[in-house]
Amino acid sequence: MKKKVKGKEGEKYLDYRIGLGKRAFDIIFSFLALVFFSPLLILIAIAIKLESKGPIIYSQRRVGTGYDIFTFYKFRTMVNDADKKLSKLSGLNEYLKEERKEHQIENGYKGEKECSDCKRLGKPCSPILFIDGVEICENQYLRLRKLELLQSAFFKMKDDPRITTVGRMLRQLHFDEIPQFYNVLRGDMSVVGNRPLPLYEAEHLTTDEWSYRFMAPAGITGLWQIRSTEVHNPEERIALDNQYAMIAKPWTDFKIVVKTIITFFSFKKASF
């Protein structure tokens, strides 16, 4: 992983570098975590192998700090070749379904009343576009297209049919993420940072507004993970990632680690 990344904000250039203290913490914490979980790792490996065909460890190319690409590891929780089946399940994307439902409830795509954006600005909807035979305010249409772009980048599915029985249990307990401590030891990731994204997600986040998240280290846990119940759409998720990139410091990392440990051992729902 590159030690320094430059990102432009106005006329200023922001440098990111993993400090010696953070790197030392990453190495010590990850080593202790792997030692602590070592007996469990063997049991998990046996369970995965007995239930379904395929490798025990799932590897995928992910995008981390400064768009660096590395091999990301976790326990396999899905059937083999699950990535190849993703395109067939795009219609089940919860992010996309939720936004379409919200938009239909709001104005029915018929322009029967002011959309919320124009109402907030105190003006009538104008111009009105005709999309697929129905009327829709241009402001709402542009907003919807922006959200659909984000939602095509991020994928969330309820009751994903690709997940195995053992995999579902591992995800609920967050045990599938344990191999990522190996990524931390290698220097690909940090314990605390923004989640490294698959290539098909990262390629949608290259604008100035969305790319700031890549100025922070790729991490196992972060702001989004400990606040996942407060996040309702991809925009809020990226906002938290950008926020971490701006406020990242040892005290912030310490609080995130403590909250993550509490969540982990209380088996509360979190997004890792």
Most confident of 28-42, 108-122, 240-254, 258-272: 28-42
**Could you tell me whether strands 57-63 and 69-75 are parallel, antiparallel, or unpaired per DSSP bridges?**
antiparallel
Q: Is the pTM of this model over 0.85?
A: no
- Cα–Cα distances in angstroms (integers) from residue 58 to residues 55, 72, 73, 159, 239, in the given order: 7, 8, 6, 20, 28
Containing H/E element for 59?
strand 57-63
**Residues 193, 217 contacting (CB under 8 angstroms):** yes
Q: Which residue has the higher pLDDT, 172 or 127?
A: 172
Give the pLDDT band of residue 11 (cuts 50, 70, 90): very low
pLDDT at residue 155 is higher than 70: no
End-to-end CA separation in angstroms for the chain:
21
- The residue-averaged pLDDT of 96-118 equals 50
Q: Is the dihedral of CA 212, 219, 226, 90 positive or negative?
A: positive
pLDDT at residue 105 is higher than 50: no
pLDDT tens per residue across span 70-99: 999 999 999 887 666 565 555 554 555 555
- The residue-averaged pLDDT of 120-140 equals 63
Give the pLDDT band of residue 113 (cuts 50, 70, 90): very low
CA angle, 80 then 82 then 86, to 5°:
165
DSSP assignment letter at 266: T
Q: What is the mean pLDDT of the chain?
A: 78
| Confidence (pLDDT) at 194 | 95
Most confident of 25-39, 144-158, 223-237: 25-39
- The residue-averaged pLDDT of 125-135 equals 60
Tokens of 61: 């190319």
**Tokens 């309702």, located at residue:** 232
Give the pLDDT band of residue 153 (cuts 50, 70, 90): low
| Confidence (pLDDT) at 2 | 41
Spans of all domains in the chain:
5-86+162-265, 94-153
pLDDT tens per residue across span 169-216: 999 999 999 999 999 999 999 999 999 999 888 887 777 777 888 989
Percent of the chain with pLDDT over 70: 62
